[in-house]
């Protein structure tokens, strides 16, 4: 190692100055990161807290008359156009929860069969699963419409759930396969010799030990469902299936849309994934990138 | 669980190499074979029903060469193709390089930097539609809007009308994409950096390595594979990312900031020509297929290394 680095005496006198410079520049960088990360979020509050939702046409940087009126109106269902927003929240949560659960289930089953039981080589499954990404999902939606019609799933939330699980699972399998390599296979062997069945090994050894990776994959799937708009918009037609993402887009298309309500809905819609992510953050820290670390 | 931990502890770090084959490997038959097939069936069914079938159908829809001649004669398509190259090329590379650099910043052991990381991750956890609508609303209200107000308050500059010019509007979409996805890759590189043994840095310090040398001779080579894989995954995702264009600039002015994924959407829905929409999307395959193959190859060699 020492051959790589020519020896250099450290000039001690410059140490203090350098430290001050480093601290000052990291403080400046920190300030830039803070503004960069929070500006669109702040803008949501700026509009949502405005009584009319039109302060974007003023020069205000602070909300001049902050009020929770928009949230109250949503809560009391006072606004004509958005009376259906609570059922839409129900639909989004229904889809989000099922996509999360099914992605974790399907991904963990497949990764167990390949990674632990060695049905085939790891790379065969992950390579096949990666084929999912060959055609961008935004293009695949057009043939998807026709295929869903054949399956009789048009205008059915399960069509959206199936599509989102399909696109979330390949990445989930990838993360799970690589995280599973951190767990010695001898554990499975020992349990098998003690007479545990395959299902018992999966339930009592694989799932508990994979918990951080499962948390990461579940959060990823929830965010995926929450980010999606195209599949919900294309596959769901009737009003009773409207999700929050679709409702927001309808607002967007409407020129007279009251933006303070829209941003209030946006803030409420953002809360569930943020809450889940920050609740699981510590837990999944090791799961998120286990594959990459080993690389 | 405690028994498992006992086994893990007893085996020590040597256990974390390549897992040896299970005892029943090689003669995977009988109930084990049936179970392992049963475990893979849910994914296989999804894959056939929702990947193979729609993909085959899509390829068939877009198989007529006349569609591609029609696309090439449409100036909107040519512009969208150029935009897609810029969108993917700039968004992916800028966010990867910045994420790599910022992961070094966030790896510093300071309490306030840890707190800042919590806020920095926020964009990734925000749902796409609300976040991009907020971008749209900040930028659309000329001559005001939050960025322009800040420019005016801080520097006394009058900000532009962001969606008046195709390149500027596309630039806004690229910034919005970077804003949303950079935190994820920063987290990935941060965990990658954390996994590098501190001993390496300590011995480099003993040898008097400069910060640049520490990065160039330790961090960079050890993160190289992770960086390449992340870049490939990000490229694949960004090709399919319609949301910034759809919600931030909306393709304005006059289709000047569309990308292929959103243009395909307009062909299929607004112009009622689904095959043309599919063809617009399929025309990225010459770029996307090599990226996917490269990614498969990278993952395979990674497995060999393990």
Q: How far is B35 from chain A (nearest CA, A)?
A: 7
Backbone φ and ψ for B100, nearest 5 degrees, come out as -65, -45
pLDDT per residue, tens digit, chain B (306 aa), is 333 334 333 333 333 444 444 444 455 667 778 888 888 899 999 999 988 899 898 888 888 888 888 888 888 888 899 999 999 999 999 999 999 999 988 888 888 888 898 899 899 989 999 999 888 888 887 777 777 777 777 787 777 788 888 888 888 899 999 999 999 899 888 888 887 888 888 888 888 888 888 888 888 888 888 899 889 989 988 988 888 998 888 877 778 788 888 888 888 888 888 888 888 888 888 888 889 888 888 877 765 443
Regarding whether B187 and B110 lie in a shared domain, the answer is yes
Question: Within the 127-156 window of chain B, which residues sit less than 8 Å (CB to CB) from chain A?
Answer: 127-131, 133-138, 140-141, 144-147, 149-150, 152-153
CB contact under 8 A, B282 and A135: yes
| Of A138, A97, A120, nearest in space to A234 by CA | A138
Tell me the whole-structure pTM to 2 decimals.
0.84
Q: Which band of pLDDT confidence, cut at 50, 70 and 90, is reported for residue A96?
A: very high
Query: Residue B241 corresponds to which tokens in the numbers above?
Result: 């990312």
Residue identified by tokens 């390149």 is B167
Q: In the numeric block, which tokens belong to residue A122?
A: 């790891």
Q: B61, B81, B105 — which closes off a domain? A: B61
Does the pLDDT value for residue A185 go beyond 50? yes
Residue of B40, B130, B226 with shortest CB distance to A269? B130
CB contact under 8 A, A230 and B265: yes
Q: Do B50 and B154 belong to one domain?
A: no
Work out the minimum CA distance from A77 to partner chain B, whole angstroms: 20
Do A142 and B306 count as a contact with CB atoms less than 8 A apart?
A: no
Q: Determine contact, residues B63/B153, Cβ cutoff 8 Å.
A: no
Cβ atoms of A93 and A273 closer than 8 Å:
no
Residue B78 domain flag:
yes
Copy the structure tokens of residue B277: 């929409």
The residue with tokens 């990360």 is: A37
> Which value, to the nearest 10 degrees, does the dihedral of the CA atoms of residues A148, A151, A157, A161 take?
-80
Ordered alpha helix ranges (H), B207-250: 211-214, 220-239, 243
Question: What average pLDDT does range A268-282 have in this prediction?
Answer: 86
Q: Please tell me which of the candidates B8, B122, B299 has its beta carbon nearest to residue A123.
A: B299
Q: What mean pLDDT comes out for the span A154-182?
A: 88
A172: nearest Cα among A207, A221, A210: A221
- Degrees to nearest 5, angle at CA B3 with A292 and B6: 65
Mean pLDDT of chain A: 81
Residue range(s) defining the domain that contains residue B49: 27-61
B148 with B52, same domain: the answer is no
Among B49, B128, B281, the residue with its CB nearest the CB of A136 is B281
CB pairs under 8 A between A and B: 354
Final residue of a domain: which of B45, B61, B77?
A: B61
Q: For residue A230, which of A242, A214, A246 has the smallest C-alpha distance?
A: A246
Give the pLDDT of residue B10: 38
Are B213 and B246 found together in one domain?
Answer: yes
Instruction: Report residue A61's pLDDT band, with 50, 70 and 90 as the boundaries.
Output: low
For residues B200 and B117, membership in a common domain is answered with yes
Nearest to A142 by CA among B103, B276, B22, B158: B276
Name the residue of chain B whose CA is nearest to A273's CA.
B125
Structure tokens at A137: 């999902």
Same domain, B79 and B170: yes
Q: What pLDDT score was predicted for residue A146?
A: 86
Mean pLDDT, residues A120-139: 78
For residue B274, give the 3-state DSSP assignment: helix
Enter the CATH code of domain A86-244+274-294. 1.10.3720.10
Cβ of residue B46 closer than 8 Å to a chain A Cβ? yes
Same structural domain for residues B46 and B71? no
CA B239 to chain centre: 9
Q: For A195-237, how does the pLDDT look when each residue is reduced to its tens digit (9 = 90+)? A: 888 888 888 888 988 888 898 899 889 999 998 888 898 888 8
Tokens of B95: 């966010």
Nearest CA to A262 among A46, A61, A39, A37?
A46
User: Are A128 and B47 an interchain contact pair (Cβ–Cβ within 8 Å)?
Assistant: yes
Angle at A205 between CA A201 and CA A208, to 5 degrees: 140
Q: How many CB atoms are closer than 10 A to CB A242?
A: 21
Tell me the backbone φ, ψ of residue A46, rounded to 5 degrees: -55, -45
Q: Given A122, A135, A249, which is nearest B129 (Cβ)?
A: A249
Looking at the 3D structure of chain B, how many domains does it have? 2
- Cβ atoms of A138 and B261 within 8 Å: the answer is yes
- B230 in A contact zone (CB under 8 Å): yes
For A25-59, write each residue's pLDDT tens digit: 889 999 999 989 988 888 888 888 877 666 555 66
Residue B103 lies in a domain: yes
User: How long a stretch of residues is chain A?
Assistant: 295
Are residues B54 and B110 part of one domain?
no
Q: What is the largest CA-CA distance in chain B?
A: 77
Residue in B123, B226, B299 closest to A126 by CB:
B299
Interface of A with B in 165-194 (CB under 8 A): 165-166, 169, 171, 173-174, 181-190, 192-193
**What 3 state SS string does B151-207 have?**
HHHHHCCCCCCCCCCHHHHHHHHHHHHHHHHHHHHHHHHHHHHHCCCHHHHHHHHHC
In a shared domain, residues B57 and B97: no
Q: Does A241 lie at the interface with B, CB-CB under 8 angstroms? A: no
Q: What is the CATH number of the domain that holds B297?
A: 1.10.3720.10
Q: Is residue B291 part of a domain?
A: yes
Q: List all residues of chain B from 253 to 292 with a beta carbon under 8 Å from chain A.
A: 261-262, 264-265, 268, 274, 277-278, 280-282, 284-285, 288-289, 292
Across the interface, whether the CB atoms of B233 and A4 are under 8 A apart is answered no
Q: Which two tokens stand for residue B294?
A: 């490269």
Mean pLDDT computed over A93-105 = 94
Residue A286 per-residue DSSP state: T
């Amino acid at each position: 190692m020492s051959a790589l680095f020519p020896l250099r005496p450290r000039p001690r006198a410059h140490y203090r100055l350098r430290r001050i410079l480093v601290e000052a520049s990291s403080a400046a960088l920190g300030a830039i990161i803070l503004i960069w990360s929070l500006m669109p979020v702040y803008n949501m509050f700026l509009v949502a807290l405005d009584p009319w939702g039109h302060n974007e046409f003023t020069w205000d940087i602070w909300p001049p008359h902050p009020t929770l009126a928009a949230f109250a109106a949503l809560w009391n269902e006072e606004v004509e156009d958005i009376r259906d927003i609570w059922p839409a929240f129900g639909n989004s949560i229904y889809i989000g929860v099922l996509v999360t659960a099914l992605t974790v289930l399907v991904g963990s089953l497949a990764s167990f069969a390949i990674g632990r039981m060695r049905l085939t080589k790891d790379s065969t499954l992950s390579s096949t699963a990666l084929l999912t990404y060959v055609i961008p999902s935004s293009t695949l939606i057009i043939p998807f419409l026709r295929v869903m019609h054949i399956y009789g799933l048009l205008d059915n939330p399960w069509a959206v759930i199936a599509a989102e699980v399909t696109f979330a699972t390949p990445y989930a399998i990838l993360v799970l396969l690589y995280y599973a390599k951190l767990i010695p296979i001898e554990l499975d062997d020992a349990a098998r010799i003690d007479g545990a069945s395959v299902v018992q090994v999966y339930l009592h050894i694989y799932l508990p030990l994979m918990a951080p990776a499962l948390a990461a994959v579940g959060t990823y799937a929830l965010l995926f469902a929450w980010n999606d708009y195209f599949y919900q918009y294309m596959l769901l037609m009737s009003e009773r299936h409207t999700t929050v993402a679709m409702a927001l887009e309808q607002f967007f298309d409407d020129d007279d849309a009251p933006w303070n309500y829209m941003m209030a809905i946006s803030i409420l819609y953002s809360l569930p994934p943020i809450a889940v992510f920050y609740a699981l953050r510590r837990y999944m820290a090791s799961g998120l990138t286990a594959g990459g670390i080993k690389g | 669980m405690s028994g498992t931990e006992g086994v893990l502890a007893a085996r020590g770090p040597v256990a974390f190499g390549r897992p040896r084959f299970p005892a029943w490997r090689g003669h995977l038959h009988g109930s084990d074979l049936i179970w392992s097939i049963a475990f893979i069936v849910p994914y296989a069914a999804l894959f056939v029903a929702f990947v193979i079938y729609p993909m085959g159908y899509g390829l068939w829809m877009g198989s007529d060469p006349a569609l591609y001649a029609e696309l090439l004669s449409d100036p909107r398509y040519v512009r969208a193709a150029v935009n897609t190259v810029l969108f993917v090329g700039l968004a992916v590379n800028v966010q990867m390089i910045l994420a790599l650099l910022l992961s070094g910043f966030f790896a510093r052991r300071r309490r306030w930097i840890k707190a800042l990381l919590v806020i920095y991750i926020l964009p990734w956890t925000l749902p796409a539609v609300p976040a991009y609508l907020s971008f749209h609303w900040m930028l659309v209200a000329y001559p005001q809007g939050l960025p322009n107000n800040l420019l005016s308050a801080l520097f006394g500059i009058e900000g532009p009308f962001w969606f008046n010019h195709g390149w500027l509007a596309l630039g806004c979409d690229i910034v919005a994409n970077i804003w949303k996805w950079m935190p994820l890759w920063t987290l990935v590189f941060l965990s990658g950096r954390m996994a590098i043994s501190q001993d390496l840095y300590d011995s480099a310090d003993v040898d008097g390595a400069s910060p640049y040398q520490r990065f160039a001779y330790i961090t960079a080579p050890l993160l190289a594979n992770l960086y390449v894989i992340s870049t490939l995954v990000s490229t694949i995702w960004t090709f399919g990312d319609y949301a910034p264009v759809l919600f931030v600039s909306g393709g304005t002015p006059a289709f000047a900031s569309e990308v292929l994924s959103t243009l395909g959407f307009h062909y299929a829905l607004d112009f009622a020509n689904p095959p043309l929409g599919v063809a617009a999307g399929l025309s990225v395959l010459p770029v996307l297929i090599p990226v996917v193959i490269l990614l498969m190859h990278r993952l395979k060699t990674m497995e060999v290394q393990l």
